[in-house]
Amino acid sequence: MPCITDEYKIEKCYNLDTMAKMEDIVSLCKRRGFIWQGSDVYGGMAGTWDFGPLGVNLKKKIMDAWWQYWVEEREDMYGVDAAIIMNPQVWRASGHTETFNDPLVECKECHNRFRADKIADGISEHVTTEEFHALNIKCPNCGKTNWSEIKQFNGMFKTSVGTDPDNIAYLRPETAQGIFTNYKNVVDTIYPDLPFGIAQQGKAFRNEISPRDFIFRSREFSQMEIEYFVDPESWEEHFEKLLAGCHDFLENRMGLKKENIHELDVPAEDRAHYSKRTIDIEFDYPIGREELMGIAYRTDFDLGNIQRESGKNMEYIVKGGGKRFVPHVIEPSMGVERLVMAVLCTAYAEDEINGEKRILLKLSEELAPYRFCVSPLLKNKPELVKKAQEVYATLRKKYGNVTWDDSGNIGKRYRKQDEIGTPKCIVIDFDTLEDDTVTVRDRDTTKQERVKISEL
């Protein structure tokens, strides 16, 4: 019987050089309270992860930065927050109940199940049983090559609504449909000029056959999606602008390195059924080059389906000219956990200080879980503690994300704060009592300087 826990292991199919790096990051996340195995106290639950105090801070800051960049700093974006459980007609109209399938294959020796297109390179999700068997792929669990036929497995979670167990509904597998079902509501209440976008952040659920690689592929995750509504005659222009914005956000707001970001123009046979063009933005993770996000031209597929199935008119009427048409849609879509993982992989670093190995996260001040750490040099000196608490209270009132640390000696505090990515450590010592200056220590350079409390 397959184990239900992911533990903190990396899949066997990756080489040892990248595994070591990934294992270091996973270990840091567990040790310092970023990310833990879901239901860990009961042995865990595969494909689920819990964010601890530091992980919640990092995740929230990433999501806030995305919202600020795409919604608050633009005049053509509007936000919604749609329900997770929706009318089942939504998923029938969108094609999810018929086409949201993955190729499932089972090893006849160990009875573990996998997505056929994810256990070897170069396999399409449309692979046939004959094509798969001809490749003689070894089972990642037992190493044998005795496989079942490929079956299509629908990835939506079913639930029932109300007291009737036959009243079936689904947990949403994406946030996009919540945007499309509210398109008409936004048009009728906000009266936006075309082109405009509707953005949403929230949970999505997919019954992954083989969740893997830490938080990269899980059964419950958060998404950040935009549906950008355009005149079909100008979709290419807006596609390129949104694609450029995605790169700008990843590089200049998230701090990802340009050389680690790549575009894949997805061929027609591998695109989603609704897409006429898709660019996958891939990132060089320690597990290999994998999809970080995508941007797709969905044409009028979704609004056309809604108009046909609901009987409601989805046409946009251009102001002044009277031109009427169902808008086409461009969708930049991103999984939050994949972005968290990319940020952590980029920020993770090791160096030596006085001959000792040091681990640090080089997170920007905007993303770091704590902007400052305040400490008294000695916690058994009441006068230092009192002064440090005054500084702590002042900074916390101004910045919010400030932490206090008086455990162990000052060197151990520095190492701890380096590991969790705190950019500056502020130490109150005996000189502070004389001249109202404190020591400010920089995470990346370890350099220290004296600064007036009033100038902090």
Are 286 and 185 in a shared domain?
yes
pLDDT of residue 119: 83
In a domain, 11, yes or no: no
pLDDT of residue 13: 31
Structure token digits, residue 374: 């305040």
Q: Are 197 and 298 in contact (CB under 8 A)?
A: no
Structure token digits, residue 310: 């609901």
Are 426 and 283 in a shared domain?
no
C-alpha 149: how far from chain center: 33
pLDDT of residue 5: 33
In a domain, 439, yes or no: yes
pLDDT of residue 433: 93
Q: Are 273 and 302 in contact (CB under 8 A)?
A: no
Pairing state of beta strands 196-205 and 77-79?
Answer: parallel
What CATH code is carried by the domain that includes residue 433? 3.40.50.800
User: What range does the domain containing 420 cover?
Assistant: 370-455
Token pair 């109209």 is found at 93
What is the count of structural domains for the chain? 2
Are 316 and 396 in a shared domain?
no
How far is it, in rounded angstroms, from Cα 185 to Cα 203?
22
Are 77 and 32 in a shared domain?
yes
421 Cβ contact list (under 8 Å, min separation 6): 347, 360, 361, 362, 363, 367, 368, 369, 370, 443
| Nearest alpha carbon to residue 341 among 390, 377, 297, 288 | 288
Q: Pick from 310, 344, 378: which residue ends a domain?
A: 344
290 Cβ contact list (under 8 Å, min separation 6): 213, 216, 282, 283, 338
- Lateral strand order in the sheet of 424-428: 402-404, 372-376, 424-428, 437-442, 448-452
Are 45 and 180 in a shared domain?
yes
Could you tell me the sign of the dihedral formed by the alpha carbons of 85, 86, 88, 90, in that order? negative
Are 324 and 254 in a shared domain?
yes
In a domain, 93, yes or no: no
Q: What is the pTM of this model?
A: 0.87
Pairing state of beta strands 402-404 and 372-376?
Answer: parallel
pLDDT of residue 263: 96
Structure token digits, residue 438: 């404190």
pLDDT digits (tens, 9 = 90+) for 268-320: 888 877 788 999 999 999 999 999 999 999 999 999 999 999 999 999 999 87
Residues (pLDDT < 70) of the chain are 1-20
How far is it, in rounded angstroms, from Cα 23 to Cα 308?
50
pLDDT of residue 3: 30
Are 52 and 199 in a shared domain?
yes
Are 212 and 77 in a shared domain?
yes
